[in-house]
Amino acid sequence: MRTLGLDHTDIRLITTSLTSDYDMPSLVKLGIHCVTCQKVAIKIVNREKLSESVLMK
């Protein structure tokens, strides 16, 4: 799987099942790009679970 440089407008082209409730600082889900059919990794970060020093970086 390769990294794709997606901006916020491209995220609507990704299909995946997202979990709305998670207790970890981040969650990685597998998605499929609807146009190119490429597998993509989506990292979802829960900002409430991160320390303030990490948020300042």
pLDDT tens sequence across 22-35: 566 677 888 888 88
* Average pLDDT over all residues of the chain: 67
Residues 6+ apart with CB under 8 A from 34: 13, 14, 15
Say if pTM beats, i.e. exceeds, 0.85: no
Exposure string (b/e) for 18-31, b if CB count within 10 Å is 16 or more?
eeeeeeeeeeeeeb
What was the pLDDT predicted at 1?
Answer: 45
Q: How far apart are CA 9 and CA 3, in angstroms?
A: 17
Q: What are the helix (H) ranges across the chain?
A: 52-55
CB atoms within 10 A of CB 38: 12
